[in-house]
Structure 1
């Protein structure tokens, strides 16, 4: 593979500058109150450069979700294969919440949640085509095939409940104080759901 040219490197640097500047402005002022002109001015770029990299300011979030999906892809490729489906889901949730807490932070996630309420915009948080949903879905299928999870409950329903637990825990982290332990609360929430599902499977035997 050939090395990137100086022009390509400069283009990526410009894209990164626009992305980081926009996220800071969204966090400080709110998504609705930030214009493309403000992003361009604050990032010391041009409107032409902005539209080369992003179709709209909402595309900033799409780009960030691509980075998050890359985290999921890297994580799942390194996950130990000798764990049960429940253990894999809990490990994924632990790594996910640690990543959100330590790498993304509250300000960014708060902005993401607020932007999800904007009408007529892609709903990345609840998009079932995203990698997270597909990973959880495959792990639930694995648990059902092994008899760990109830086969009487549709795979999509269990998957939706688990991903809802994740979104709900993140939301609580945003509205509660510093005493709210994001990683621990996510583990407790999802573990309770999984244990109840396993209990339902056991009773049906």
Structure 2
């Protein structure tokens, strides 16, 4: 791999600064009250510099979720192959929620999840897109469970996958609502285990 030029390094640093500053301002002021101008000004760069890296302030959320999804993808190889699909799902969720809780923190997750809800949620929205690594990983585990006979064949893998990911989103929203009264890592295990008990043979 060729070494980055000083200009490329500077561009990467600027993009990262815009990303982190944008997320910080969204949390402090609310998504609707933050403008591209205010993000650029806080970073001491021009508005044009912002648009070099992002098409809109909303793309800051999309960029953050790409980072999060890349973590999920890198975590999968640590999951043993010789365990049940249910165990794989639970281990994956344990890793996911530990990462969200300990690395990103509740305040950032609250901002990332809550602010875009004022916008129209379409199938391509990052919270719902079936193309996210998160959903592809869960769907692969569920398909494995259906094909091996671990899960009932009463429901298609797509439907089970949707409900399994709903366990995750519900846990995250409850964590945002209840704060320290709820440990998301413990809750995701209880919540998802209860659901999986209902679809196992």
| Correspondent of 1:149 among 141, 148, 151 | 151
Report how far residue 116 of structure 1 moved. Answer: 3.2
Alignment partner, residue 192 of structure 2: 190
Report how far residue 161 of structure 1 moved. Answer: 0.3
Mapped contact 1:36–1:47 kept (Cα < 8 A): yes
Report how far residue 115 of structure 1 moved. Answer: 2.6
Residues 196/179 of structure 1: CA separation in 2 closer, same or farther (3 Å cut)? same
Mapped contact 2:171–2:187 kept (Cα < 8 A): yes
Unaligned 5+ residue runs, structure 2?
A: none
* Per-residue deviation, residues 63-95 of structure 1 (Å, max 9, x unmatched): 001001101110113322111100100000000
Give the Cα–Cα distance (whole angstroms) in 1 for the partners of residues 114 and 47 of structure 2: 25
Give the Cα–Cα distance (whole angstroms) in 2 for the partners of residues 116 and 14 of structure 1: 24
Unaligned 5+ residue runs, structure 1?
A: none
TM-score (normalised: structure 2): 0.95
Structure-to-structure mapping, 1:157-176, within 5 angstroms: 157-176=159-178
Q: Secondary structure, in 3 states, of the residue corresponding to 1:127?
A: coil
Report how far residue 177 of structure 1 moved. Answer: 3.4
The yes-or-no answer on 1:13 pairing with 2:3 is: no
Per mean C-alpha deviation after superposition, the further-off stretch among 118-127 and 52-61 is: 118-127
Mapped contact 1:116–1:124 kept (Cα < 8 A): no
Mapped contact 2:21–2:39 kept (Cα < 8 A): yes
* Per-residue deviation, residues 36-66 of structure 1 (Å, max 9, x unmatched): 1110111111111100000000000110010
Report how far residue 144 of structure 1 moved. Answer: 0.8
Alignment partner, residue 81 of structure 1: 81
Alignment partner, residue 34 of structure 1: 34
Give the Cα–Cα distance (whole angstroms) in 2 for the partners of residues 44 and 83 of structure 1: 51
Report how far residue 110 of structure 1 moved. Answer: 1.0
* Per-residue deviation, residues 133-152 of structure 1 (Å, max 9, x unmatched): 11111101100111110112
State the superposition RMSD in angstroms: 1.1
| Correspondent of 1:181 among 178, 183, 195 | 183
